[in-house]
A and B are shown apart, each in its own frame.
Chain A
Amino acid sequence: MSPFYTAAKHMLRTPDGPSVGYMCEFVPVELIVAVGATPYRMCTGLQETTFSAEEYLPQTFCPLIKSTMGAYGEKPPFDLVVIPATCDGRKHLGELYSDDVNVHMMDVPITGETVHARMLWMKEVQRLRKALQSTFDKKITAKGLKRAILEENGRRELMAQLLEQRKGDLTLSGSDLMLVALMSRYMDVDRWSKAVNVLIASGSKRKTRKEGRTDRSGPRILLTGAPVILPNWKIPLLIEESGGALVLDSLCSGTRTMWQTAEPSGWSIQEMMIAMADRQMMSLCPCQIPFDAAWARIRTVIEDFQIDGIIHHVLQSCHPFGVEATLMRRRMEELDVPLLSLETDYSQEDVEQLRTRIEAFIEMLEGRSNR
């Protein structure tokens, strides 16, 4: 894990050379790579920078948006900032930046499952390509894009292998898994892939020797909801400290969509654009309705990974994830899988209150399995 810990220490160091700051997993990073720039995910988890952002943003705004605004100030150091207009926070952050910075907003269709939505999104991905080409005054070629797609697919295939190992006893803690996923946005693909290959190899060795770790034998937890970004690591750590086996997350900062590859029907620019757009459209974010696609994924995960209980993370003032908690609660009654919904922000002051809830939830799950 040490390459990931090292990368985590430096994650706030923005890239040298041509770079594109982006927010949110709707952005197909392959286009950025294909134009010769380094993609950098701007979402931050710092508590201290939320205060300075209150100079520009309402105090009750989402902590992730406040933290990001505070971390980079009014002029983030990128050649281009790409922000999908998903939630209110991202929309208005883009607006605030646009006076001083080169900002490209992407129009994300809210109703995600219609033909019209798909067409709109295709056009948006085309428009991003044009914006990148004009910013860097360089054409994105079919050859360059193919290379970028294959590289990103390779990364995602490795992630899928790592996830496959979560199906039985855990050989890697859940918080480490989340760190590996998060660091895929901050490490170059070769370094990241090499380190993940090491984890996969040691995982399969342990699996064949049946060396699941006993300290990870508690109730199997799936973490869903709002993104968890370093250093705001309290939720995964509390789950593990309370005796939960954190099997998997379904967060956009983690592994929610990282198992999906883009599979173009051919290698023309057009076919590649379609494949990328279709994959990103499956971001499973509650800023889009209906909830069906996201729920289908959660259901599959519950079954495939033998999940005993779900912990749903809501960031204060993030209404999409707040409502998602209710939608999940309704659907989960049929499945008889308990749900704990936690609302919090980036502060540490509620750690003990969160701990009580998480411990009680794990005690409740243990009670179920003892009967």
Chain B
Amino acid sequence: MALYSAGIDIGSTYTKCAITDGENILGHSTLQTGAGAQKAADTAMSEALAMAGLDREQIGAVLTTGYGRRIIKEADSNISEISANARGAAWFGKELGTIGTIIDIGGQDTKVIALKEDGAVRDFLMNDKCAAGTGRFLEVIARSLGATIDDLGEMSLRAKGGIDISATCTVFARSEVASMLSKGIEPEEIAHALHRAIAKRSGVMARKVGLREQVFFDGGPARNIGMRKALESELGMKLVSPDKPQIVTAIGASLLARERKEGGQ
């Protein structure tokens, strides 16, 4: 009988679940974590099971990752999101070409992970405890622009450029944006500047760890075309991403769940 495994990535903002059989992604889900990590994990699992057409009893191994990883009941074990993300990216590397560096912009963290040729983690860096330059930052500013986070990318592509946001703190950036709006600066220009500000911060982290091609961009904000363009121009290189960049870590966790089970751990 095939071994199906599930990875649940309980992030600060979203909870993601992926079910794999080692070769294929059979089911996946993404939903807001909200106040209860356990509830979010349960729902994410049911939704992914529904997509896969499997029952809970058919899942042979469950591994949790992300901030909520330690409080989830049904997990067989847990692992840090760095290791899970690396495993997921290496898996996509089969299709996209070997991955040298991962840039992951998450809800409250930005991570840069350097991989060895064999996909193992060589080094990594995470931003400090404030939310500057993360998905949360994008979300807060989008709200002050009266837009959603999904609109921001397209908006920023219409900008002429030349405006800078200097504040890196989410709270201060918000007041900077408010004052820009009151001066009549277009929201498109602000969206553009915002992506550049985040790209600059992520660029510093990436260079600290050392950039090696290919550079794999994942996490929810990797879906944002404006963010991607800004980061590519900051780093001076092309970024690769899978279709659903937000579930890479959950996929990695699912693969690791399987490997741990097979390894008898």
Contact of A364 among B67, B83, B126 (CB under 8 A): B83
Known: A353-B129, A371-B118. 19 other contacts (CB 8 A): A344-B129, A350-B129, A353-B126, A356-B80, A356-B81, A356-B82, A356-B109, A357-B82, A357-B126, A359-B80, A360-B124, A363-B80, A363-B82, A364-B82, A364-B83, A364-B120, A364-B122, A367-B120, A371-B120
On chain B, the residues within 8 Å of A363 by CB distance are 79-80, 82-83, 121
- Tell me, in angstroms, the Cα distance from A338 to B120 when the chains sit together: 13
On chain B, the residues within 8 Å of A359 by CB distance are 79-80
Nearest CB in chain A to that of B127: its residue: A353
Q: Is B76 an interface residue (CB 8 A)?
A: no
Q: Is B123 an interface residue (CB 8 A)?
A: yes
- Tell me, in angstroms, the Cα distance from A349 to B131 when the chains sit together: 13
On chain A, the residues within 8 Å of B121 by CB distance are 360, 363-364, 367
User: Contacts A352-B67, A356-B82 hold; do A338 and B123 have CB atoms under 8 A apart?
Assistant: yes
In chain A, positions 318-371 with a C-beta closer than 8 Å to chain B are 338, 343-344, 349-350, 352-353, 356-357, 359-361, 363-364, 367-368, 371
B79:A356 contact, CB within 8 angstroms = no
A360:B80 contact, CB within 8 angstroms = yes
- Tell me, in angstroms, the Cα distance from A328 to B147 when the chains sit together: 44
A364:B81 contact, CB within 8 angstroms = no
Nearest CB in chain A to that of B209: its residue: A329
Q: Is B128 an interface residue (CB 8 A)?
A: yes
A360:B120 contact, CB within 8 angstroms = no
On chain A, the residues within 8 Å of B83 by CB distance are 360, 363-364, 367
B128:A364 contact, CB within 8 angstroms = no
**5 interchain pairs, CB-CB under 8 A:** A338-B123, A360-B80, A360-B121, A364-B82, A364-B122
Main secondary structure of the interface of A (DSSP, over half): helix
B260 to chain A, nearest CB (A): 12
Chain A positions 192 through 204: 1 when the CB is less than 8 Å from some CB of chain B, otherwise 0: 0000000000000
Number of A-B contacts (CB under 8 A): 45
Interface size on A, residues (CB 8 A): 17
On chain B, the residues within 8 Å of A343 by CB distance are 128
- Tell me, in angstroms, the Cα distance from A360 to B65 when the chains sit together: 11
B81:A368 contact, CB within 8 angstroms = no
- Tell me, in angstroms, the Cα distance from A350 to B120 when the chains sit together: 27
Nearest CB in chain B to that of A345: its residue: B129
Using CB atoms and an 8 Å cutoff, list the residues of chain B in contact with chain A: 67, 79-83, 109, 118, 120-124, 126, 128-129
Contact of B67 among A356, A367, A368 (CB under 8 A): A356
- Tell me, in angstroms, the Cα distance from A171 to B82 when the chains sit together: 31
Contact of B82 among A338, A352, A360, A368 (CB under 8 A): A360
**Which 4 pairs between the two chains have the least Cβ-Cβ distance?**
A360-B82, A360-B80, A359-B80, A364-B121
On chain A, the residues within 8 Å of B120 by CB distance are 364, 367-368, 371
B123:A356 contact, CB within 8 angstroms = no
- Tell me, in angstroms, the Cα distance from A359 to B70 when the chains sit together: 12
A149 to chain B, nearest CB (A): 44
B245 to chain A, nearest CB (A): 19
B110 to chain A, nearest CB (A): 12
B243 to chain A, nearest CB (A): 26
A55 to chain B, nearest CB (A): 24
- Tell me, in angstroms, the Cα distance from A344 to B126 when the chains sit together: 13
On chain B, the residues within 8 Å of A364 by CB distance are 82-83, 120-124
- Tell me, in angstroms, the Cα distance from A50 to B70 when the chains sit together: 31
- Tell me, in angstroms, the Cα distance from A360 to B112 when the chains sit together: 12
On chain A, the residues within 8 Å of B109 by CB distance are 353, 356
- Tell me, in angstroms, the Cα distance from A349 to B130 when the chains sit together: 11
B65 to chain A, nearest CB (A): 9
On chain A, the residues within 8 Å of B124 by CB distance are 360-361, 364
On chain A, the residues within 8 Å of B123 by CB distance are 338, 364
- Tell me, in angstroms, the Cα distance from A111 to B178 when the chains sit together: 48
Nearest CB in chain B to that of A326: its residue: B208
- Tell me, in angstroms, the Cα distance from A368 to B115 when the chains sit together: 12
Nearest CB in chain A to that of B66: its residue: A356
Nearest CB in chain B to that of A358: its residue: B80
Nearest CB in chain A to that of B82: its residue: A360
- Tell me, in angstroms, the Cα distance from A343 to B124 when the chains sit together: 14
Nearest CB in chain A to that of B85: its residue: A360
B160 to chain A, nearest CB (A): 37
Nearest CB in chain B to that of A242: its residue: B80
- Tell me, in angstroms, the Cα distance from A361 to B124 when the chains sit together: 8
A321 to chain B, nearest CB (A): 14
Nearest CB in chain B to that of A347: its residue: B129
A349:B82 contact, CB within 8 angstroms = no
Nearest CB in chain B to that of A356: its residue: B80
User: Which of A344, A352, A363 has the largest number of chain B CB atoms within 10 A?
Assistant: A363
- Tell me, in angstroms, the Cα distance from A367 to B80 when the chains sit together: 13
On chain B, the residues within 8 Å of A344 by CB distance are 129
On chain B, the residues within 8 Å of A367 by CB distance are 83, 120-121
- Tell me, in angstroms, the Cα distance from A356 to B85 when the chains sit together: 13
A238 to chain B, nearest CB (A): 12
On chain A, the residues within 8 Å of B128 by CB distance are 343
- Tell me, in angstroms, the Cα distance from A67 to B189 when the chains sit together: 44
B196 to chain A, nearest CB (A): 25
B109 to chain A, nearest CB (A): 7
- Tell me, in angstroms, the Cα distance from A357 to B128 when the chains sit together: 11
In chain A, positions 48-107 with a C-beta closer than 8 Å to chain B are none
On chain A, the residues within 8 Å of B126 by CB distance are 353, 356-357
